[in-house]
Structure 1
């Protein structure tokens, strides 16, 4: 099997590349700069989104396309300029992926396009599955809605399309967890805001496995929640993280202070949704880390 990954050098992309190679795939990573990339067995790099780049010429015969490209929402305060980049980077990458696939003589079997659970409404009481209306409000919800509409163009072209709605991805190399763990390491961890907001999380290894699973199972299409089956309240996550790290959970960070420090970006930690991976579980996917304690133990005690 041949897979093409946009965003293959990022946090999830690296884990996914390893997962695919372990299961016999040859992987092509789309990148703006091929000069500093060293090709390895079963991995090659093809230039895209750059002047003169025509990646489709090198991608004939590809079975699976996976789009993870887009500027991180966690790497800085959401200025108006940064919000434009967060949206435009996702739209540009998705439009180019769809264009490339349409140009190929032999169409790929599937597109797995990254998305996010931010498309669902914020709630402390409701649970959301793929059958729930995507009726969120605000910047993140609008980004995800626009992003998914671009990806669905592949479905209109006859390519099975999976919208992988990621929850909060846990890993020690990048993502939200190192930032969450930092105050605990200095003995200053504790409740954030009300502490009752839901955290729909997933271990990065299960993310990679879920993407491969979706690519290989023709019964999966449309929205697919990529979250662990046991979401937790933010305060419970903090208590568990404190236990795993052997640190106290005592400090209280009030909502106004966090909003002052992070601005609109504070919604990432102050608001949440209880999102369940119904489509994955109904299709027989087995999570390696279904519980938050097992996930954190693996990440910090391995």
Structure 2
């Protein structure tokens, strides 16, 4: 299959490319800067989102486009950063909509990254894809607008999937190395109350679920990319400590994180219980349903 990926060099993009290339797929990576990027068997880099770039010339025959592009949310949320987080996602989705409109042979499916931040936060509610109302915080607003931008592609007759990622566990980057570090220093413990839900997913299951959505023609709309077994933050920390043979004992109070990170502290101080109902109903088999097994594999 010929697949184009925007954001193919990030955490998910890199792992997804490795998996797809190993399976024999042909990949086109859409990138702002091709400098130093060398193509190889099955992999081509194509410049986009620059004034003189015309990537549509290289996209004829593409059967799927995966959009993982967007400014990282893991920087302190100043007003300018928040604008960049939202606008980078809207720009990428709008450009892909434009590119598809130029193609004579349109792709069969469009996969757009999204996030469980859509649902807002709660210690008591449980969310599935049936929850159609976005939350009221900054992340919920970003995700809601991001998915609305993807509707331009859906309206062109391309099956569209919004992959709502939970907290992705990967030992090469993302949240996990930061969460593990205090335990390695014998300083791990509850973050905030420890009662906030953490809806997590192993990086391998993220990539497998994306491929499953590409191949499964009945899957469309929002899809929660989370394990079926969310854990509370305190239990998550205790599991890390158990695997690393380190104590879970020194709490990190909420006010300290709020002072250090500002509004961005909500990423770890607040959470939501998100169940991947659509993936389960469509028969997707998680390789890592259990947190203990996932962390043992990664740590």
CA distance in 1, matches of 2:96, 2:150: 9
Stretches of structure 2 lacking an aligned partner (at least 5 in a row): none
Structure 1: stretches of 5+ with no match in the other structure: none
Superimposed CA distance per residue, residues 193-247 of structure 1 (whole angstroms, 9 cap, x where no aligned partner): 1111000000011101100100110110000000011000000000001111221
Q: Distance in 2 between matches of 1:234 and 1:19?
A: 30
Give the alignment's TM-score, normalised by structure 1: 0.97
**Pairs within 5 Å for 1:146-225:** 146-225=145-224
Runs ≥4 residues deviating over 2 A: none
Deviation at 1:265, TM superposition (A): 0.3
CA distance in 1, matches of 2:120, 2:88: 24
Task: Tell whether the 8 Å contact from 2:189 to 2:248 is kept in structure 1 after alignment.
Answer: yes
Taking the aligned partners of 1:109 and 1:134, their CA distance within structure 2 comes to 28
Matched residue, 1:282: 281
Using the alignment, how far apart are the partners of 1:65 and 1:243 within structure 2? 41
Partner of 1:129: 128
Does structure 1 retain, via aligned residues, the 8 Å contact 2:134–2:141? Answer: no
Q: Is this contact kept in 1: 2:134–2:144, CA < 8 A?
A: no
3-state SS of the aligned residue for 2:250?
strand
SS of structure 1 residue aligned to 2:249: strand
CA-based RMSD = 0.8
CA distance in 1, matches of 2:180, 2:62: 39
What SS does structure 2 have at the residue aligned with 1:253? coil
Indicate yes or no: 2:71 matched with 1:71: yes
Tell me the CA shift for residue 35 of structure 1.
Answer: 2.4
| Contact kept? 1:8, 1:29, Cα under 8 Å | yes
Residue 55 (1) aligns with residue 55 (2): yes
Shift of 1:182: 1.2
Structure 2 counterparts to residues 227-266 of structure 1, below 5 A: 227-266=226-265
**What is the CA-CA distance between 1:134 and the residue it aligns to?**
2.8
- Residues matched between the structures, number: 299
Q: 1:171-203 CA deviation, whole Å, 9 max, x = no partner?
A: 011111111111111111100111110000000
SS at match of 1:252: coil
For 1:47-102, what per-residue CA distance to the aligned partner results, in whole angstroms no more than 9, with x for missing partners? 0011200000011000000000001111x211111111111111111111111111
Equivalents in 2 of 1:137, 1:22: separation in Å? 41
